[in-house]
Structure 1
Amino acid sequence: MTKLRELLETKVERGTLPGAVALVARGGAVEVEAAGFVDLERSAPMTRETIFRLASVSKPVTAAGVMLLVDDGQIALDDPIDRWLPELAEPRVARTPDGPLDDTVPADRPITVFDLLTFRSGWGFTADWTSPVNQAIFREMVRDGMIPQDYAPPEEYLAQLARIPLLNQPGEGWQYNIGSELQSVLIARVSGTPLPEFLTERLFEPLGMADTGFAVPAAKRDRFTTLYRTDPATGDLSLADRPDGKWNTVPVFPSGAGGMVSTADDWYAFGRMLLNGGAANGRQLLSAESVRLMTTDHLTEQQRAASELFLEGQGWGFGGSVDVTDRDPWNVPGRYGWVGGSGTAAHIIPAAGAVTILLTQASMTGPTPPAVMREFWTYAAEGE
């Protein structure tokens, strides 16, 4: 039994995970292990072809979609977003983070495409879950934090968001998640194509990502996992979504922040493209400069420190974190990628030419990655 398989099997035997698929690629060598089952009933074993809800591991893919439009010359990083998202024109900023929602001042400049990509628009989640702005976002917009398929249609979503003030002036602070939701709408409006169709045409088909999308057709549901919530106190798992549940059809708001499904090999194809400077299968899908911008930390030291709960000292590129220190065994400077609340993680390590992917169906209990992820990253780092 390999060390990687032993790591996964141990978690399954202890009941921490129903199952998992892990992939570690270094250069031309690819190690893949599948352990456990697609559900607690053990109706089918995990395999390399099992389909998972990516959750926030969708974010790098969506950021790549924005950069395709930048490469096309249809948008620029310094363009104000209100050209395409007029609902968000003339945003207001909370005078104080913990003040009432109606105590605001005007934004001192427009929100730009760059602000959305770096999560510095002023809208999003922070470590202070009790702040009036955070509470308003959860109350009015996030109908079920783990199921983005329940979001309101884009027009309604934007109208709701426009009534909530920014936490800070554009560009001044990092907040989580909403930047990717807005990228989802931006791509559709700039391209004139629904997000699922745009990503399929420009990324999924050229990369051979045949099992990646925003819904799972009936013919593939025998490969689709059941999703479980994890009790933060006991670790017990409870049902969140079945294979024939929320991902039956493409939702009214296709969420590039957390709504995609995929397999280990599909995300590996995406990660390989990034490692190759945007090239895949004889085509230059993304420019090398776009890949460089995606995988470069754009935060100030102060912004990283203020976002410690989510980033743990990491920086942020476009759609994913960037390791800036080696303070932990698995922290490799330059590593780019992200984790998903459904129990997923995917990264590239440019200096090592490596891709690491861990897919489970046991949800995280908060922003801090669970032990299985950290053990997996340590394994991947030690094998380099």
Structure 2
Amino acid sequence: MFAHVDINNCYVSCERLFNPTLENRVVVVLSNNDGCVIARSNEAKAIGIKMADAEFMVRQNLKENNAVIFSSNYALYADMSARLMNNLARYTYTLMVYSIDEAFLALGNLPGVDLEKHTAAISENVMRHTGLPITVGVGPTMALAKLANKAAKKQKKDYLVLDTGDKIDATVKDFPIEDVWGIGLQYYHKLIDFGVKTAQDFRELKADFVRQHMTVQGWRLHQELWGRPCNVVKDIAERSKGIESSQSFNSYQTELEPIEEAVSMHAATVALKLRQQQSMALTLTIYLRTNKHNVKHDQHYPSITVKVPFAANSTHQLTRVAVQAMRAIYQPGYNYLKCGVRATGIIPEGEVQFHLFTSYEHGREQQLAELMDTLNDRYGRGTLRLGSDSFERKWAMKQDYLSKQYTTNWKDILVAR
């Protein structure tokens, strides 16, 4: 058995947690540079605000409904996500973090546990300990657990347990095929052509037919909807095919220096994520992007993949490689809107292969990284950084509606009077 847990309207719920006056109001959270809607309260959904709506297109509607608008506060959301995952770990022997607001819990080897009571305890206690409203779906496979979660939301329940064949059959009978985990737009149109409208219709297809038309991934989903587990919970280091940090600029950048500063920040972020999961990277990909939607500007999408001399997670080492790579692909005369750094070839720490004549001071780099992490954990992220990562960050993304960092910045901590 598996449980799928996610936060209801995650970013909005995080904002409401520290500002109760937002309850029952129209609330939206915007994407990078305040471009489009990426989170909505139920009240915002009720007035027709859709996911990914451009802010300028719904501005008047939001104004007329006295909406509260927020820029994405990633420091707050990431910290609240960590608190959620720490709480969920109490209820399982294997926790797989799937995204910032959702996770799967393995529940199959918990002898003597009443699943219904255990699921209710997860729902109630997580809300009590974190203040975040969650929905829990339980099923014999990960796909059915995800389906149970969505079905619970449709039924306005806090949780739903599908632990018998009858319960599963009743739930998949009218469940829309487009809401099934793993059914993208391409598969949706293909299945509609086959007359498949519900999860039950999909289950009734023959397995060989599904594999022929939807490859092995579609076949696995088909098997999972019949209660036969095909997805495997793996360690995060094994799952990671890459770690990326990227961001759009608040305005077009034409000079190399501010772009180098942004690349330095992204390289440092990637290095930190690698250290947090006790991994190292063998290769880095650095890229630049112009605005493909602005046809008046010449377009340029350069990228380069370089091999790190030795697998590393050191901020100093990865930043040096990233900045040198950026200098190689940058060309003057273009209006760049975005840059990013992606680490691949990820291996566990301790498996770094050196050669006999290396002069790379691996131990020193690790000590320096550990010192930076210790100081930044104590005094706030970014307190200690490399000189190539400017403190001014004039290129940083637009955040006109940013809320306080209630849990990660001393000056923003709430004061009780």
Instruction: Calculate the TM-score normalised by the size of structure 1.
Output: 0.25
In terms of fraction of residues, the more strand-rich structure is 2
Highest relative contact order (Cα 8 Å, sep 6+), 1 or 2?
Answer: 1
Q: TM-score, normalised by structure 2?
A: 0.23
Structure number with larger C-alpha Rg: 2
